[in-house]
Amino acid sequence: MLKNPIFKGFNPDPCICRKGDDYYIAVSTFEWFPGIPVYHSKDMKNWELYTHVLTDDTNPDLKKLPSAKGIWAPCLTYCEQEDLFYVVYGVMNSMNARYFDVDNFVITAKNIEGPWSEPVYLHSSGFDASILHDDDGRKYIVSLDWETREGYEKPGAICMVEYDPKAKKIVGYPKRIWKGGTDRGCIEAPHLTKRNGYYYIMCAEGGTGYNHCVTMGRSENVWGPYVGDPKNPIVTSNPAVSNERHDPDHLKPKYYNPDVVLQKAGHGSYVETQLGEVYLVHLCSRPFTPELRCTLGRETAIQKMKWTEDGWLRMADGSNIAKEYCEESKLPEYPVKQIPDFDDFDGEELGNFYYAPRIMPQSFADIKARKGWVRLRGQESRTSLNKVSILARKLTSVYATVTTKMEFKPEVHQHSAGLIIYYDNMNYINLRKYYSETLGQSAISIIALENGVKTEFVNTRIPVDDKPIYFRLEINGRHSQFSWSYDGKSFNKIGIPFDTTKFSDEYCKYGEFTGTMVGITCADRVKHEHYADFDFFEYKADEDMDVK
């Protein structure tokens, strides 16, 4: 049996497709680069982080965008007629006054690893845009048509418009075609598919929170009218009937279901295997209780599905509750490489599992400057929305130990480098080495931001020598503790245990939809050129431990 989530940590909004014997899943990245990770499998059991779609941080330019903006809900499809991969994605620019200003684009590639075409602008009519390749060669774009007017149901309805791939533009204006298959409200994440003469629309409803779900409708005409599955929702964490069309809030914690492990199940996409099996991938979360805080963010899970005799897609076990365990595919086993726990930076390229906020990691992380080390060039403060040198990876368990070895000689108080746990630019904790004018030498201490309020823990300040130093972060459930060492064997605790649960959508006020990251960081707030060298980055996580 497969144990969910299959992609742990910050991996929301999964979209799955198949080309021959290969399966690919794309997920959202919001303000992080590289953008749109693509996971690959041949057996629907073993997945590897294969490539990223967006690797040019000038297009799209995410600098200065607030947290939780950026790349939303990519749609990855394969058009067999053209032997071409398509990715439709949105760049969320602003959510001020709930206008949700987004630009939607489409790009294509013959190979999943690229090169990808120049982005073609589609429209700005809502988010979660997706594409249908009809069997007559025509193409259609569906998205959530975001509602801003008073007196109209929020957040809106699903709209559709034809796309002309030769002219590279949409034909006319989007038209509303679907208001949902339940009364949970907050409809989003549309995907259109075609099977046995029916057009199927799959959506998320209830908001991307505790009332989230997957619903379906169908029509013999692509423009509708669409009829909802009488058993909607087809996948959810809470099967209770509810009418929340009046409430545009997405979290809805009152719908937390204590009887299930996977909360917030929704935003789905399905695929059929060569063997005729059907699987649906969807986002989910595993909160700390009773706080209902999801430190790992929104993750990706998988469920075995089946088509009924009357042409509806349902869970294979006949229920609609997202399960922690899923029946494996009968495809032959195909092992793939996994992200290493220990990275000694001895390779020729930076690992593809590293990310940075708003800019490509390679713009400040140099793997070749010193053999066997990664050199981080310092830039702006960690609170900046512009150019920040944080080399991070996704936290996949709340039971993890992160260790690094650093060489760094700060020269002025604006120089600092060290280890960080980071949710967004307004929520992080940083164990850093810096130059202390008070002590007249290098020192270490902890500095933290909690919902934008900065605390410099002066009582943690310790003078240190300018020689190699080890930093460690131990995350033990709801408590996180920093420590340091000169020899990498005997570690000294520094500072208080911090509350891990606060790194979550539910607690953070300035960002949402992402997840907690851990990494190494350097700042030079004077000349943007002073650097720190890191010998290794070790991430040991017990992913079998449950969030409690």
Residues with catalytic roles: 13, 188
**CA neighbor of 70 nearest in space, from 119, 24, 103:** 103
Q: What is the C-alpha separation between 429 and 423, in angstroms, rounded?
A: 9
Q: What is the C-alpha separation between 281 and 507, in angstroms, rounded?
A: 27
DSSP string across 311-359:
S-EEETTS--BPPSEEPPPSSPP-------SEE-S-SSS--TT-BEESS
Q: What is the C-alpha separation between 248 and 239, in angstroms, rounded?
A: 19
- R_g (Cα) of the chain, nearest Å: 23
Going by C-beta distance under 8 Å and a sequence separation of 6 or more, which residues neighbour residue 151? none
Q: Break the chain into its structural domains and give their ranges.
A: 2-326, 342-541
N-to-C CA span, the chain: 23
User: Which of the listed CATH numbers 3.40.47.10, 2.102.10.10, 2.115.10.20, 2.40.10.10 matches domain 2-326?
Assistant: 2.115.10.20
Give the torsion sign (CA, 39, 317, 322, 305). positive
**CA neighbor of 427 nearest in space, from 347, 506, 502:** 502
Was domain 342-541 assigned CATH 3.90.550.10? no
Q: What is the C-alpha separation between 336 and 43, in angstroms, rounded?
A: 10
Residue 310: CB atoms within 10 Å = 6
pLDDT in tens, the chain (548 residues): 999 999 999 999 999 999 999 999 999 999 999 999 999 999 999 999 999 999 999 999 999 999 999 999 999 999 999 999 999 999 999 999 989 999 999 999 999 999 999 999 999 999 999 999 999 999 999 999 999 999 998 889 999 999 999 999 999 999 999 999 999 999 999 999 999 999 999 999 999 999 999 999 999 999 999 999 999 999 999 999 999 999 888 999 999 999 999 999 999 999 999 999 999 999 999 999 999 999 999 999 999 999 999 999 999 999 999 999 999 999 999 999 999 999 999 999 999 999 999 999 999 999 999 999 999 999 999 999 999 999 999 999 999 999 999 999 999 999 999 999 999 999 999 999 999 999 999 999 999 999 999 999 999 999 999 999 999 999 999 999 999 999 999 999 999 999 999 999 999 999 899 999 999 999 999 999 999 999 999 999 999 998 98
Amino acid at 66: P
Helix, strand, or coil (residue 178): strand
217-220, long-range: CB < 8 A, 24+ apart: 217/178, 217/181, 218/311, 218/312
* Phi/psi at 363 (5° precision): -75, -15
